[in-house]
Homo-oligomer: A and B are copies of this chain.
Amino acid sequence: MSLASGDHEAHGVPEDRPATPRDALAATPWLRSVSQNVLDDLAGHAVLHRLPGGSIVFEQSETPAFAQFLIGGSVELLGVRGRDESFVELIRPVDLLLPAAVLNCQPYLLRARVLGEASLLMVQAESFRQAVTSDHAFCLAVLGCQAAQFRRRVKQVKNLGLRSAEERVGCYLVRLTGSVPPGTPVHLPMEKRLIASELGMTRETFSRSLGAMARHGIRVEGDLVTLDDAASARTRFALDPLIDGAEDFHPLQAKGA
């Protein structure tokens, strides 16, 4: 249920980034039930890569050469038309970048751009497909990963279609402050402009909405959020688990026939 970006090793313990492709795969929760030799094989056709903020991981209409596992940092997916970009989704670790395109050998429908800094595990597309078609457990893992992504998208669409800009902001903040006792200040997990695009609005609208939150018991100063009147806030901005709930990977175990 964390709203945090994958990108703070600023204070405290530096995230222990895996040193090798094999380590990265071993550290991926949703590959837990995949056999060692399949992971070995994948790792054998993979490289670990680190990209600075702003890098393009792939471009719209490219044919995938790799299956990209996002290991650290975060990546935004954007629809592009000429000069215009429209934000579609923010991917956080550990997840696959548009597995559908890789599986189907079809062109990417979106541009992927790194925020902050990201570590990617790049597995050769053909080896990835190979593994999916030859190993049932891996196939199930990918299926589960895709299912979670799909549900996240649906939630995003519902959030956009069913709530006003101000409500989206309110619910976001209520959720953000939900895990600490009311009154405790909480940091926004990323730059405001990024939160704004994740919530499907411009920075200006986001900024104004933050101001308006005061009227409902949420105080925002800089990147610090305090829930002054929890009752009021939670009434005005009622969370809906079918929109605001976290969407976790759900394990499916292979069984013999």
Interface of A toward B, CB cutoff 8 Å: 60-61, 79-81, 84, 86-88, 99-101, 103-107, 109-110, 129-130, 132-136, 139-140, 142-144, 146-151, 153-155, 157-158, 161-163, 240, 242, 250, 252-257
The answer to whether A103 and B143 touch (CB under 8 A), given A88-B161, A149-B150, A157-B88, is: yes
Protomer copies? 2
The answer to whether A79 and B158 touch (CB under 8 A), given A140-B139, A146-B147, A242-B107, is: yes
Q: In the complex the two chains form, what is the Cα distance from A155 to B107 in whole Å? A: 12
Q: Which of B81, B242, B252, B254 contacts A60 (CB 8 A)?
A: B242
Please determine whether A153 and B151 come into contact, CB atoms closer than 8 angstroms: no
Please determine whether A106 and B255 come into contact, CB atoms closer than 8 angstroms: no
Chain B proximity of A246: nearest CB distance (Å): 12
Please determine whether A86 and B161 come into contact, CB atoms closer than 8 angstroms: yes
The answer to whether A133 and B140 touch (CB under 8 A), given A151-B106, A240-B81, is: yes
Please determine whether A255 and B100 come into contact, CB atoms closer than 8 angstroms: no
Query: Can you report 25 A-B residue pairs in the complex whose CB atoms are below 8 A from each other?
Result: A60-B242, A79-B157, A79-B161, A80-B162, A84-B162, A86-B161, A87-B161, A88-B161, A101-B151, A103-B250, A109-B158, A110-B154, A129-B252, A132-B140, A133-B252, A133-B255, A134-B256, A136-B136, A136-B139, A139-B143, A142-B143, A143-B146, A146-B146, A150-B153, A153-B153
Supplied contacts A79-B158, A104-B151, A146-B146, 17 more A-B pairs, CB within 8 Å: A81-B240, A88-B161, A100-B147, A103-B143, A103-B147, A103-B252, A104-B148, A105-B250, A107-B242, A109-B154, A109-B155, A129-B252, A133-B253, A134-B254, A139-B143, A146-B147, A146-B150
